[in-house]
Amino acid sequence: MKNLHAIFWMVITTILFAIVTGMVRHLGTDLPAPVAAFVRYVASTIFFLPLIFKMFVTQADQEKNKIHFARGICHGLGVIGWFFAMATIPVSEVTVIGYMTPVFVTIAAFFFLGERLSKKLILALAVGFTGMFVIVNPSGTGIEIGQLTMIIATIFFAGSYILAKQLSSSNSIIEVLTGLNSIVTLVLAPFAIFFWQTPSLYETLWLSLVAFFATCGHYTMTLAFKLAPISVTQPANYLQLVWATLIGFIFFGELIDIWFVLGSTLIILSTAYILIFAKQLPGKAN
């Protein structure tokens, strides 16, 4: 029964995150990406104001806070890239490149955590990278700036994911969300000031909705992870690509081609192997 509940919450998560991508795509490039990201996180942080003072002042844990801040920096830089990519390339491309996060996490774990890479895992990584390049550069003419930005953003999100795993063992869901939203807001502030353009009421309302749906998505995703192993929830996560593709087609007239289908298939196969079967591989090197 827990597995069914976990799958249900993951399906809800994919719908919420797909709605978020559609909203950001709708807003377009009129508002600079750092400003749009900052407004979105300010709106999210308001939800957690009562807990921020408690976490970082009255019951401050310096070691935990260092991890919170490191994660906030990684996630904040990733968010800027994601907002820019969402406004410049198809939502389906943003979504499928985002599936490269586990690939970059695995590589980071090798360099920074001492985890081993078996021949099969190296092959899975190679398949993932092949799929990514098939999508972003099928004709060999070069990578678009939006695609490159999303790849860089995915690398930063991988760093955020690794740090989040450290935090999850000693923090509640609400503490993790509070730390993420408040610190990302601080990280985005100087970028937003530098590129400042006052958002209209219309843009502010839309970004507030983005904040609401994104926060709900992070919460339901965490619920799913708590109820069942990632091997149970990950297949449902790929539904986000279906929703994102439908949103791009219905609302923005975005079409997909054979290169996108081929590249997406390679990335999904690579990611599925890493997430579901990597637990069978050797552990950390001594």
| Domain membership flag for residue 286 | no
pLDDT band at 139 (very low <50, low <70, confident <90, very high): low
Q: Into how many domains does the chain fold?
A: 1
C-alpha dihedral (107, 69, 18, 244), degrees to nearest 10:
-30
160 pLDDT higher than 50: yes
| Domain membership flag for residue 7 | yes
- The more confidently predicted of residues 128 and 273 is 128
| Domain membership flag for residue 87 | yes
Q: Per DSSP, what are the bridge partners of residue 284?
A: 115
Percent of the chain with pLDDT over 90: 38
Total number of residues shown for the chain: 286
Tens of pLDDT, residues 167-193? 776 778 788 888 889 999 999 999 999
| Domain membership flag for residue 127 | yes
d(CA 235, CA 268) in angstroms, rounded, equals 9
Q: Is 191 helix (H, G, I), strand (E, B) or coil?
A: helix
Place of tokens 């998505």: 217
**Domain interval for residue 144:** 2-280
| Domain membership flag for residue 231 | yes
Nearest Cα residue to 178 out of 86, 21, 8, 64: 64
| Domain membership flag for residue 124 | yes
- Report the pLDDT value the prediction gives residue 281, as an integer from 0 to 100: 42
Tens of pLDDT, residues 5-57? 888 998 999 999 999 999 999 998 899 999 999 999 999 898 888 788 777 76
Average pLDDT, the chain: 85
d(CA 36, CA 186) in angstroms, rounded, equals 14
Tens of pLDDT, residues 268-283? 888 888 776 655 443 3
Tens of pLDDT, residues 244-268? 889 999 999 988 888 889 999 998 8
d(CA 149, CA 157) in angstroms, rounded, equals 12
